[in-house]
């Protein structure tokens, strides 16, 4: 009985002395969209921002991004080498192969594991204004 009490006291002390660390943050800066013409047309959007901490990019996971009428976009996080803009040191690139109609979509915050879209103050950096999170493209491919 006495050993169990000591064990529980140690567990409580350890849990208070080692508070759960928050996730690294991705500070959102903007979205750009692209369309590549060729044998296979490729549509993509890039979410720009910067991470607050260095990450092992192989350990983070970004879920496939589903857009109605289009399908699943494959997404990945990467660092921008020699960034021109200090607010754009990292990017999340999401792409899908195929031809789609000229249309815009308001993007929801991507589902990610290993980081979040919060500021240091704990507020979301994902934009509230629809125009700031608009994925829109214009496509004129020659056949």
Could you read off the pLDDT of 103-126 as tens digits, one per residue?
A: 788 899 999 999 999 988 889 999
What are the tens digits of pLDDT across the range 10-39?
445 444 444 445 889 999 999 998 888 878
Query: By residue range, what is the domain housing residue 30?
Result: 20-136
pLDDT of 21 reads: 59
Positive or negative torsion for Cα 84, 86, 88, 89 = positive
> What is the count of structural domains for the chain?
1
Query: What is the torsion angle, in degrees rounded to the nearest 10, for the CA atoms of residue 32, residue 33, residue 39 and residue 40?
Result: 120
Confirm whether 14 is domain-assigned. no
Confirm whether 38 is domain-assigned. yes
Confirm whether 57 is domain-assigned. yes
Confirm whether 15 is domain-assigned. no
Confirm whether 35 is domain-assigned. yes
Confirm whether 1 is domain-assigned. no
- Give the confidence band of 8 by pLDDT, cuts at 50, 70, 90: very low
Q: Look up the pTM and report it.
A: 0.79
- pLDDT > 90? residue 99: no
Confirm whether 111 is domain-assigned. yes
Confirm whether 28 is domain-assigned. yes
**DSSP reduced 3-state for 45:** strand
């Amino acid at each position: 009985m006495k050993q169990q009490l000591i064990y529980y006291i140690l567990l409580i002390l350890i849990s208070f002395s080692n508070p759960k660390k928050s996730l690294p943050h991705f500070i959102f800066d903007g979205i750009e969209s692209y369309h590549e013409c060729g044998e296979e047309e490729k549509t993509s959007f890039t979410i720009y921002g910067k991470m607050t901490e260095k990450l092992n990019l192989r350990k983070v996971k970004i879920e496939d991004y589903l857009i109605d009428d289009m399908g699943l976009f494959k997404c990945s996080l990467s660092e921008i080498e020699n960034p021109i803009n200090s607010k754009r040191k990292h990017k999340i690139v999401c792409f899908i192969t195929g031809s789609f109609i000229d249309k815009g979509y308001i993007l929801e915050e991507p589902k990610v594991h290993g980081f979040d879209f919060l500021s240091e103050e704990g507020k979301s950096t994902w934009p509230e204004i629809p125009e700031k999170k608009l994925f829109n493209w214009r496509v004129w491919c020659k056949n």
